[in-house]
Structure 1
Amino acid sequence: MKADKTSRTAQYMALFRALETRLQAKDRLFSDPYAIHFLDQKLRLATRLSKYAVVRKYLENTIQKKVPGAFSSGIARTKYIDDLLQNAILNGVKQVIILGAGFDTRALRLDFIKSVPVIEIDHPNTSNFKIQTYKNRLGKIPENIQFLQIDFNKQDLDQLAAQHQIDFSQPAAVIWEGVTNYLTSAAIKSTFSFISKFAKGSHVIFTYVHKDILENPKSFLGGEKLLKDLNKLEEQWTFGFIPAELPDYLNQFDIQLTEDSGANEYRKKYVPGRTENGYEFYRTALGIKQ
């Protein structure tokens, strides 16, 4: 990410959520009325015009051409993580920690966590922009949300936790969406070590990319172009897992892998009517602290 800007990829995810929200209630997976406010003027206009079928079709076709599968898998993943989070709350989780929160608006749009303490941790550029956007649109920050700022590749989460007295004794649902693929292996290990300090029964919901997309991008539809575009944005992907190796990796942190789904799987579950291909390398996993 460029030093003086927010994440462009975070804005694209907000665009996908904003476009989904423009659908009629019976047709959409979720509603996110806040997502549009994180978009630049051009993307806000496109979102508003998407109420016209011809414009929406053009937008979806353009996105599919540029990043095959990203839109359909992105909205399906959003709903999938919403459901995993709700299940965590139902199973006794007492707090929500969102690592690399980006423009995630779950603390506002999901009724079932409005009374749950939420800590959002992110890069200062994105975090400050988000705080200001909330203040502009809501007048104030909701009392259950706390924003903490960190550069995951340069700073220590343990120091941040000590400084702000994060409570590890209460089981947490940790959401780590759209982040691991930008980090170093050392940062990944350090973060899972941090997550493992939360109480037994804590849930970690995270995304990752299949390691093969980094080593052989041509093996995935649109993979080579995607990596080139990310390089131009200075948001290069640097890390991936081999799915078969993930259970053993998590075991060292006393975290048991309970779900691990690729884009095709959660797309089939939540948007079975969509026929787009692509983005199969993007995966969502759930681990539970033992």
Structure 2
Amino acid sequence: MQPGEPSRTALGAATHRAVHQVLEQGRIFTDPLAGRILGPEAALAARRAEGDATQRQLRLFIAVRTRFAEDALRTAFARGARQLVVLGAGLDTYAYRNPLGQDLDIYEVDHPDTQQWKRRLLAEAAIPVPDNLTYVPVDFECETLEDGLTLEGFDPGKRTFFTWLGVVPYLAEETVFSTLAFIASLPGGAQVVFDYGNPPGATPSAVMDTLERRVASVGEHLRSRFETEDLHARLRDLGFRAIEDLGPAGIRNRFFAGRGGAPLERGGHILLATSG
């Protein structure tokens, strides 16, 4: 991020979610607010994206990680989770179309500049802010998640679900694991969904390479990638007792069986970790 400006990568991810509703008719996940929050830019972005195969692969990966997270949240709610924390919320619209109702307390955590921008876009689009949503302004690189949530009434004794999509690759490794350690330590138990990339290998990853070029062009850079086995070991050391990790083959089998266009390369993973 540039000082005083909202995250460009948050805008990019929101644009991909909106374009997915148009070019793939929301087949992976449906979000009636994805285009609305962007205004006229959504339709322009869809026209620009037609026929661009590199955009399509990244767009499908973003759609899959959102679908995976929302499916896991629905299961967690059925098993007693009553708090949702959206880390690096960007222009995510889940809180404003939440099908689980008022029994789910939602906390959106993001950099203050990005959060202010989002609230302006919501107002311009006449998207109401629900009573069960709390905004938590936090700069992950100089403030702790624990401090930010504590100030806003978060209850560590309640079972909590965290989504952390499109954020981990941009953070320093120390920040990533200190945040995960906090989540694992919550006495009420928690789950977290996040996406990550493997280090560059012999097999190229179109999704990760395209992402790296695009974010570098707007002054943001990928800072953390992980080997899968090493990441799982560190998660277990932190206290996560169950790990579900969808890599390229898992994504293909779950979401694209019988279809083309899946992000198949080494690189993009979506992970669900459970503590407590």
Output the TM-score relative to the length of structure 1: 0.84
- Contact 1:35–1:105 (CA under 8 A) maintained in structure 2: yes
- Contact 2:157–2:187 (CA under 8 A) maintained in structure 1: yes
Structure 2 CA distance for aligned equivalents of residues 85 and 17 of structure 1: 18
Question: Are 1:269 and 2:254 counterparts?
Answer: yes
Alpha carbons of 1:196 and 1:111: their partners in 2 closer, same or farther (altered >3 Å)?
A: same
Displacement of 1:15 in angstroms is 1.9
SS where residue 163 of structure 2 aligns? strand
Q: Which of 50, 66, 78 is 2:66 aligned to?
A: 78
Structure 2 CA distance for aligned equivalents of residues 123 and 175 of structure 1: 16
Q: Which consecutive residues of structure 2, in runs of 5 or more, have no partner in the other structure?
A: none
Question: Are 1:233 and 2:231 counterparts?
Answer: no
Tell me which amino acid in the other structure corresponds to 1:46. L
Query: Superposition pairs for residues 76-225 of structure 1, below 5 Å?
Result: 76-138=64-126, 140-210=128-198, 212-213=199-200, 219-221=204-206, 223-224=208-209
Alpha carbons of 1:173 and 1:46: their partners in 2 closer, same or farther (altered >3 Å)?
A: same
Deviations 1:234-253 (A, max 9, x none): 11000112101122211222
Partner of 2:22: 22
- Contact 1:118–1:146 (CA under 8 A) maintained in structure 2: yes
Worse-superposed segment, 114-123 or 31-40: 31-40
Displacement of 1:139 in angstroms is 6.0
Alpha carbons of 1:159 and 1:263: their partners in 2 closer, same or farther (altered >3 Å)?
A: same
Aligned residues between the structures: 275
Deviations 1:3-57 (A, max 9, x none): 23222222222222222333697x723321222244374x32325xx5xxxx5xx
**RMSD, matched Cα:** 2.6
Worse-superposed segment, 246-255 or 31-40: 31-40
Alpha carbons of 1:77 and 1:223: their partners in 2 closer, same or farther (altered >3 Å)?
A: closer
- Contact 1:218–1:224 (CA under 8 A) maintained in structure 2: no
Displacement of 1:223 in angstroms is 4.7
Displacement of 1:204 in angstroms is 1.1
Alpha carbons of 1:74 and 1:193: their partners in 2 closer, same or farther (altered >3 Å)?
A: same
Structure 2 CA distance for aligned equivalents of residues 222 and 139 of structure 1: 32
Displacement of 1:170 in angstroms is 0.3
Worse-superposed segment, 5-14 or 179-188: 5-14
Deviations 1:199-249 (A, max 9, x none): 344211111111x13xx5973236555423322211100011210112221
Alpha carbons of 1:35 and 1:280: their partners in 2 closer, same or farther (altered >3 Å)?
A: farther
- Contact 2:168–2:224 (CA under 8 A) maintained in structure 1: yes
Partner of 1:39: 38
Q: Which consecutive residues of structure 1, in runs of 5 or more, have no partner in the other structure?
A: none
SS where residue 252 of structure 1 aligns? helix
Structure 1 CA distance for aligned equivalents of residues 223 and 101 of structure 2: 32
SS where residue 36 of structure 1 aligns? coil
Structure 1 CA distance for aligned equivalents of residues 260 and 60 of structure 2: 7
Identity %: 24
Tell me which amino acid in the other structure corresponds to 2:22. R
Displacement of 1:191 in angstroms is 0.6
Structure 1 CA distance for aligned equivalents of residues 89 and 231 of structure 2: 23
Structure 2 CA distance for aligned equivalents of residues 232 and 175 of structure 1: 26
- Contact 2:29–2:67 (CA under 8 A) maintained in structure 1: yes
- Contact 1:17–1:35 (CA under 8 A) maintained in structure 2: yes
Structure 2 CA distance for aligned equivalents of residues 139 and 224 of structure 1: 35
Alpha carbons of 1:235 and 1:246: their partners in 2 closer, same or farther (altered >3 Å)?
A: same
Structure 2 CA distance for aligned equivalents of residues 264 and 15 of structure 1: 26
Displacement of 1:124 in angstroms is 1.1
